[in-house]
Structure 1
Amino acid sequence: MSQTCDVVVLLSGSGSNLQALIDSTRTGDSPARIAAVISNRADAYGLQRASDAGIDTRCLDHKAFEGREAFDAALIELIDAFNPKLVVLAGFMRILSAGFVRHYQGRLLNIHPSLLPKYKGLHTHQRALEAGDTEHGCSVHFVTEELDGGPLVVQAVIPVELQDSPQSLAQRVHSQEHLIYPMAVRWFAEGRLSLGEQGALLDGKLLAASGHLIRT
């Protein structure tokens, strides 16, 4: 039996990806265990989701700190108290300092609502529609110092439909996020996923630049 992989989840909002992770780790055979959920916002509904699931929660208000580095240093201390093997960003609306990213190198994952490297940053669904894209989706990647720029692990690709609005596209992308994020976390927890010098490795093999592609 593989050892349990303790995970700390960081979020700022409703926590729908957290819920997908909670559900996936409660299947009985999952090697991942969510040890704690931390938010920079006390009103984040994700904290309630975690509390309802019996998971430790913490809030660290970034406004109480003088600058990003001070906040990130306190955040590192809080995360490390739970001794996680993996840190997962699930809608954590803070740009992390280089020091924070380096501290968790190779064990920090993020999900982004676009087919990276397209549309880093915000308003991804609107931008995909404005560009006339025929495909859109979401990406799980290792976090590096480049914003939304780390090696890709897995991407879910969906067709853009003629009648799509940013809202309808967001809804369909969300449902894919809830599938691929637990998958990537499980791969990591099972020891199958790691970060190598050249990029993300799955079962010891270098993943393509686009990561593992799933089309719907």
Structure 2
Amino acid sequence: MKKIAVLFSGIGSNLAYILEHLHKKELEVVVALTNRPNAGGIAFAKEYNIPVEIIDSKSFESREIFDEQIVKTLKSYNPDLTVLAGFMRILTTVFTDNIRAINLHPSLLPRHKGIQAIERSYADKFDMGGISVHWVTSELDGGEVILQREVSKVGKSFEEYEDEVKKIEKKALCEGIRKILYYSVQ
């Protein structure tokens, strides 16, 4: 069975979805890693008896030293793939040169890289927004796109659009994981 590591920073809803739909069915989540000691996703990992690694980014004097610790920790679990699911850190080449990872981003890249992507996507001139699953590189949200899913903004309030994006992102992330692990997308 293929093994993944999941990195998160917040409530962990994408981690929870992966655990519910893929863990022990199609793959094994071997570690859940967060940079925030109080992240809500920790509870989901514990519920599924997944090892939790808490590496507080505020405890390191540089991003590179923080990334070194993440790389060392992840390598000890030997995942086939690392999945960034709401991991709110910009990673350096210390990470990207050593870890094979994908990321979920709530816009149709290359539009709206970085934070507040859903808000910026909703406000742009296009009728369609959506999500992207892409390879992680040292360029923020700049890695090759693996897959995208569109959401129409026409006639929707921001809240309706945001809800739709959040519904499809979980399914798309799982689809991206499957595509990489089982269909040899490099």
Q: Same fold (TM over 0.5)?
A: yes
3-state secondary structure, aligned to 2:110: coil
Name the residue aligned to 2:111: 118
1:37–1:60 distance in 2 versus 1, CA, 3 Å: same
Give me the identity figure in percent. Answer: 33
Instruction: Give a deviation string over 1:56-93, Cα, whole Å, max 9, x none.
Output: 11101111111111111111111111111111101111
Name the residue aligned to 2:167: 175
Structure 2 letter corresponding to 1:161: V
3-state secondary structure, aligned to 1:171: helix
Instruction: Give a deviation string over 1:148-194, Cα, whole Å, max 9, x none.
Output: 011111111011032321x332211011111111111122222x133
Larger radius of gyration: 1
Q: Distance in 2 between matches of 1:163 and 1:177?
A: 18
- Is 2:23–2:29's contact at 8 Å kept on the other side of the alignment? no
3-state secondary structure, aligned to 1:81: helix
Matches within 5 A, 1:91-170: 91-104=86-99, 107-165=100-158, 167-170=159-162
Which 4+ stretches in 1 moved above 4 angstroms?
none
Name the residue aligned to 2:74: 79
1:27 Cα deviation after fit: 6.7
1:50 Cα deviation after fit: 0.7
Segments of 5+ residues of structure 1 without an aligned counterpart are 196-216
Length-normalised TM-score, structure 2: 0.95
3-state secondary structure, aligned to 2:52: strand
Match of 1:48 among 43, 49, 53: 43
1:117 Cα deviation after fit: 0.6
3-state secondary structure, aligned to 2:97: helix
1:67–1:151 distance in 2 versus 1, CA, 3 Å: same
- Is 2:19–2:29's contact at 8 Å kept on the other side of the alignment? yes
The answer to which of 65-74 and 120-129 deviates more is 120-129
Match of 1:5 among 2, 5, 19: 2
Match of 1:65 among 60, 65, 69: 60
Q: Number of residues paired by the alignment?
A: 186
Length-normalised TM-score, structure 1: 0.82
1:6 Cα deviation after fit: 1.0
1:51–1:27 distance in 2 versus 1, CA, 3 Å: closer
Match of 2:16 among 9, 14, 19: 19
